[in-house]
A and B are shown apart, each in its own frame.
Chain A
Amino acid sequence: MLEFLIRRVAISIVTLIVISVVVFTGVRMIPGDPARVMAGTDADAAGLEEIRAKYGLNDPIPVQYLRWAALAARGDLGRSIRTRDPVITTVARKLPITVELACLAVLIALAIAIPAGVLAAVRRNTVWDVLASSASLCGVSVPNFWLGIMLILFFSVRLGWLPASGFVSFWESPTANLQRMVMPAFVLGTALAAVLMRQTRNSMIGVLSADYIRTAYSKGLAGRVVIFRHAIRNSLIPVVTILGLQAGALMSGAVVTEQIFVVPGFGRLIVEAVFTRDYPVVQGVVLITASSYVLINLLVDASYSLLDPRIRIGGNP
C-alpha cells in the first residue's frame, strides 16, 4: 500500500515537471518577442529592453525555465497583460465557480448513471438494458454545446422557466444560483453520465457473476440485500477510476458550457485570455488544469484503499 503510494507520488512529480517544461516551452514557441508579448503593443525599444532585463529574458533558456518554475511552484504565475492582476488571484476568483459547476455535474451524472447502470446490469438483456444503453450512446454522441443551446431554446425561450445565462453567487442567493446552474450542470453531466453508466453496468455484471455473490444468494439472502449490500460497493471501484480519468473531459466540457451559459468561471477565463492574447493567463490556466488533473488522479488512486480493503491490507489488488 505505502510502496504503491510512494511510487504513484514519484510518478506524479515527474509528470508535473514534464508538464511545466511543456507549458514553458509552449509559451516560448509563440511567434514574436516575449518582451513585446509582456509589454503589449504600445511599448518602445527602451521599454522592451527594460522588460528583458527585468524578467531576465537575456539569460539562457534553462536558467529562465528554472526561475519561472521556482516562482510557479510558489504560486507566482505572473500578471495578466490585460488587467495587471496577478494570474493566481484571478484564477482563485474564478475557480470556485467552475468547481461548483463541476461538482453539480458529477452529482447529476452519478444520480443518473449508478441507478441506470445497476438496473441495466440486474435486468440484463431486457428492455431496461436496451433503453439504458441507447440513452448512454446518445449521451456520448450528443455535442454538449448543442444540447445546451437546445435546453436554452426550450426552457428559457419557449417556456421561460429558467434564466438562459448569467451567474449569481451561491452565498448571495442559493435559489438564484441553482436556477442558473442547473442547465449548465446537466449539460456538463450528460456525457459523464453516459460513460459512467456504461462502466457501472459492465462492472456490475462482472461482480454479479463472482463467487461471493453466489455464496450470498445461497445463504438465502434476498436479492435486494445482495445487490445493495454486496454487489454495488465493489462494482463502484472501476467507476471511481473512470471518474478520475474523466476529470479532464469535465474541464474541457466546462470551457464550452461556461461559454454558452455565460458562467464567469475558469473555462470562460481561458477563452477570453486566448482572444485578448493574454499569454500569462493562458499559461497559468493550462498549467493549473494539467497539474490538477495529475493531482485528482493521484487522489483517485489513493482512494482505492478506502473502497477496496484488499489494497489497504497490502495484498495484490
Chain B
Amino acid sequence: MNPPSAAAGVLVAAAGAAPAGRLRRAWRRVRRRPASVVGGVIVLLFVVLAIGAPWIARTDPVGTDWSQIRKAPSWTHPFGTDDLGRDNFARVVWGSRISMQAGVFSILLAIAVGMPLGLVSGYYRGALDQVLMRLTDAWLAFPFLILAIGLVTIMGPSLTNATIAIGLGATPTYIRLTRGLVLSTAAEDYVQGARALGAGDLRLMARHILPNIFSSLLVQATVSIPIAIIAEAVLSFLGLGVQPPAPSWGTMLNAAQQFLESAPWMAWWPGLAIFSLTLSFNLAGDGLRDLLDPKEY
C-alpha cells in the first residue's frame, strides 16, 4: 500500500467510513482512552448546543427583565440571572455559538494562511525560505494576546476582528509546522519516486506531500482550537472582542466581576463552560493524536 492512500485511509477511518478491519482497529485504540471519548462527546454536545441554541434556550439571551435582576439559580432560571435581568442559561448556551465560531474559524484562517506559506517555504527552500523564516521569527516574537490587542486596536473591536486577530496570532505556528513536515516528507523515497516519474511541483505538493502531513495539522488544530477559544473569551473579557449585549462567555465574566459578592453565580457558569469545553477539546485531541499517529500502525 502506498503511503498517500494510507494517510487518506487514516482520515477516512477517523470519519467513520473505512473498511471494517481498520475501523475495528481504530475502535480498539479509542477504547483504551475512555477520557478522550468522554472529551469528544462533550465537544460534540457543545457543537449541538451551538447549532441548536435557538431551540435549547427558549429565553431571549439579550432580553432584559427589570423585575429579575441578579436572581439566584431557580427552576425558571437554572443558571440565575445577570445584572440586567437576562437569563444566564440562555446566555451561556448562545455563548457557545460565539466561542465555537471564534475557535474554529480563527484556526481555519491560521491554516489557510500558514499551510501554503510553510509548504512553499519547505518545498522550495533557499532564499525564499530564509526570508519567510525570518518573518516568522519576528511574527512569533509578538505574544499572542499582545498581537491580538495591537490588531484589534487597528481594526476596531468586534467578533470578526477578534477572530482574524486570533487567527493571525496562530498562523506562524502553522507555517513552522508545515515547513518542518514538508522538509521531512519531501525527502521520502516515494516523493522522489514520483518526481522521477515526471510529476511537477504542483502535483507533488498536492498529491504526495499534503495528504501525508494533513493528519499532523489536524492534531495541531485540536491543540490550537481550545487556545483560540480562551483567547476569544479573554479579548471579550477585556472589552476588545464581542461587544455587549451579545452573549460571549468573556463579556459575561467581565460583568460578573463587579457582582462577586451579591451574585457569584454570574461568574460560575460562563467560566465552567469555557473550562469544560477547552478541557474536553484537549482530552479529545490527545485521543486523536494517538489514533492518527502513524508510528503505531
Q: List residues of A whose CB falls within 8 A of some B CB.
A: 11, 14-15, 18-19, 22-23, 26, 29-30, 137-138, 140-143, 145-146, 149-150, 152-153, 157, 247-249, 251-253, 255-256, 259-260, 270-271, 274-275, 277, 279, 282, 285-286, 289-291, 293-294
Contacts and interface: CB of A to CB of B under 8 A. Distances in A.
6 closest Cβ pairs, A-B complex: A252-B145, A146-B271, A18-B138, A248-B143, A141-B279, A141-B278
Contacts of B151: 26
Interface stretch (B10-18, B69-77, B256-264): B256-264
Contacts of A279: 153
A286 B279 contact: no
The secondary-structure label for the interface of chain B is helix
B3 to A, nearest CB: 28
Contacts of B139: 22
Nearest to A278: B153
A143 B234 contact: yes
B141 A248 contact: yes
Given A15-B138, A153-B267, A249-B144, A286 B275 contact: no
Contacts of B142: 19, 22, 248, 286, 289-290, 293
A141 B280 CA distance: 9
B264 A153 contact: yes
A142 B275 contact: yes
B275 A275 contact: no
A186 to B, nearest CB: 16
Contacts of A271: 149, 238
B65 interface: no
B67 to A, nearest CB: 26
Contact of A260 (B135, B226, B257, B274): B257
B260 A289 contact: no
Contacts, number: 133
B275 A18 contact: no
B267 A141 contact: no
Given A143-B271, A157-B260, A14 B146 contact: no
A155 to B, nearest CB: 12
Contact of B238 (A11, A30, A140, A256): A256
B245 to A, nearest CB: 19
Scoring A29, A153, A252, A279 by chain B CB atoms within 10 A of each residue's CB, the highest score goes to A252
Scoring A143, A249, A259, A291 by chain B CB atoms within 10 A of each residue's CB, the highest score goes to A143
B146 to A, nearest CB: 5
Nearest to A148: B257
Given A19-B142, A141-B282, A146-B253, 12 more contacts: A22-B139, A26-B151, A137-B282, A138-B279, A145-B237, A146-B274, A251-B146, A252-B145, A256-B234, A282-B149, A282-B150, A290-B143
Nearest to B266: A149
B283 interface: yes
A252 B257 contact: no
Nearest to A18: B138
B138 A270 contact: no
A271 B257 CA distance: 17
B260 A153 contact: yes
B233 interface: yes
18 contacts: A19-B142, A22-B139, A138-B279, A142-B275, A145-B234, A146-B275, A149-B257, A153-B264, A248-B140, A252-B146, A255-B238, A259-B237, A275-B239, A277-B153, A282-B150, A286-B142, A289-B146, A290-B143
Contacts of A19: 138, 141-142
A150 B237 contact: no
B267 A150 contact: yes
B282 A259 contact: no
Nearest to A21: B138
A290 B141 contact: yes
A11 B274 contact: no
B240 interface: yes
A152 B258 CA distance: 12
A11 B237 contact: no
A141 B278 CA distance: 5
Contact of B271 (A26, A150, A275): A150
B134 interface: yes
Interface in B229-263: 230, 233-234, 237-240, 253, 256-257, 260-261
